[in-house]
Amino acid sequence: MKKIKDRNYQEAMDRIEEIVLNLESEEIEMDELSIQVKEAIELIQFCKLKLKSTSEELTEALKKLEEA
Amino acid sequence: MKHLRLSELNHLIKETLDANLQPTYWLVAEIGEMRVAGKGHCYLELIEKVEDEIISRMRGNIWAYNYRAISGWFESITGQPLKSGMEILCQAAITYHPVFGMSLTIKDVDPNYTLGERARRKQQIIQQLKQDGIFDMNRELTLPLVAQKIAVISSSTAAGFGDFMDQISANQYGYKFDISLFQAAMQGEQAPLQIIEALHQIADKLDSFDLVAILRGGGSQLDLDCFDNYDLVSHIAQFPLPVITGIGHERDETIADLVAHTKVKTPTALAEFLISGLVDFEENLLYQAKIMADKVTAKLKDENFRIMQQANILERSVIRRLQRDGQSIAILSEKLKSYTKSYLREQDRVQLELKKRISRNTNATLKARLQHLELLAQKVNGMDPQKLLERGYSITMVDGKNINEIKNLKKGSKLTTLTKNRTFESTLDLEKEREDV
């Protein structure tokens, strides 16, 4: 499993979707379930953080655009 | 032979002319030379050429009171004054003077003819440019996105150049332009050559410039013929940078205007054109920036929504999954319970059965054993020697030992014999093997 911090946003989103799909399709073993759900939650937090920081960065950058 | 005096001949000529010629003719001719004298009279020479060779020539004049009206009208229609080299249609009367000879008195000039003639010549040149395949070349160039390095061809003394510089340096947006002036005469015979020379100078430093502006002072309607010159316009058409003309005339287009990438009417308009190019660029930049900002905001919103959605789906799937597994665990444990129960019941039953069987078997066995024992007891009872003795049998022993176990009995061995209730002591006389056993 790739480490979360090494993933980029899109990879993280893809992985979340994959996990959700796994859950839905019952392909996942019960033992794996909590591991994958934990992973998905971490990924979601990661995506949220990333989105938040991106949003802040862009808002800052756009502010500069308006000041220019 | 009859003689005529010169004056008589001249008189005769005059009479003949007067009698045979109409008072005026509409005449097509080229103006050869032309000058306006101090009193305002115009003296000119009309010619007709075939391939540059003059095949006809006559002096003419336009009297001052006519000339003022004719030249004003002519210039207002054609945009240029009467001048040498121009083909005109004029109404002329033939005047014969005994002293000054024959001349034409021009009473009227039709400017529309000259206009048409000039248009025809221009059309020829345009046709030629199209045949050469260069007419559209400059117009097909792309105007640079931001044009700030401008090569200006003009006369530094021309009012138009001053107007242009004022306008461009005082622009309200504060844009900076880098203007380089290349001097050239903007009218007269030298103009085409000098403008071409200026183009050559610019071509030597092509990388230093974004475009070329040809500027000529506005105001009075001056001679525009040089901007119809074939050599000049073919140079403009083929120039590798976009050429913009601001030649300063309102009336009609010169060929230079037609082949130039862009034409504007005046130098001031040319400055505005350059400034508005930068305004457009900046506005577009800001517009794009706004679009970008909007898109960024929308994208962030979308992504936020997407994450929340995924989180929700995840939560629901986990709950569903857990519920489902919880249910199956419950079902399993229920099944397990009933299994266990029936298993235990079965075990009970089996044990009971076994017990029964065991007790059953035990009784039978015991009975059998008892019988067997009784049988044995009977057998054992039957074996009691006392019984045999009572029935008349006796037991003989030697030295207290079973006589059957002792071999080689000797004569005189002491025998002890037991009967039912007596003991006999005897001595052996004879020993023989029984023959009947």
ipTM of the complex as predicted: 0.70
pLDDT band for position B234 (50/70/90)? very high
Residue with tokens 């009995």: B409
**pLDDT tens, B323-362?**
877 777 777 778 768 877 887 788 788 888 877 877 777 6
Query: Which candidate from A19, A33, A58 shows the least CB-CB separation from B296?
Result: A58
Question: Which residue among B306, B311, B317 sits closest to A24, beta carbon to beta carbon?
Answer: B317
- Spatial contact of B410 and B428, defined as CB atoms under 8 Å apart: yes
Order across the sheet with B243-246: list the strands: B178-183, B149-154, B211-215, B243-246, B262-264
| CA distance to partner chain A, nearest, from residue B291 (Å) | 11
* Mean pLDDT lowest among B46-60, B136-150, B189-203, B206-220: B206-220
Per-residue confidence at B219, pLDDT binned at 50, 70, 90?
very low
Compute the distance between CA of residue B392 and CA of residue B11 in angstroms, rounded to an integer.
230
- For residue B209, the model assigns a pLDDT of 96
CB proximity list for B96: less than 8 A, separation 6 or greater? B10, B13, B14, B17, B102
Q: Do B314 and A55 touch (CB under 8 A)?
A: no
Residue B169's contacts (CB-CB under 8 Å, 6 or more residues apart) are B177
C-alpha span between B192 and B153 (Å, rounded): 12
> DSSP code of B422?
-
Model-wide pTM > 0.80: no
Q: pLDDT class for B434, splitting at 50, 70, 90?
A: confident
Chain B's closest residue to A47, CA to CA, is B307
Kindly state the tokens that stand for B406.
């002792």
- Chain B positions touching A37 (Cβ under 8 A) are 314, 318
Alpha helices (runs of H) in B91-214, residue ranges in sequence order: 111-131, 159-169, 191-204
Residues (pLDDT < 50) of chain A are: none
Q: Of B144, B142, B132, which is closest to residue B281 (Cα–Cα)?
A: B144
Phi-psi region for residue B12, left (φ > 0), alpha (ψ -120 to 50) or beta?
alpha
- Report how far residue B67's alpha carbon sits from residue B80's, in angstroms, rounded to the nearest whole number: 15
Rounded Cα gap, residues B87 and B90, in angstroms: 10
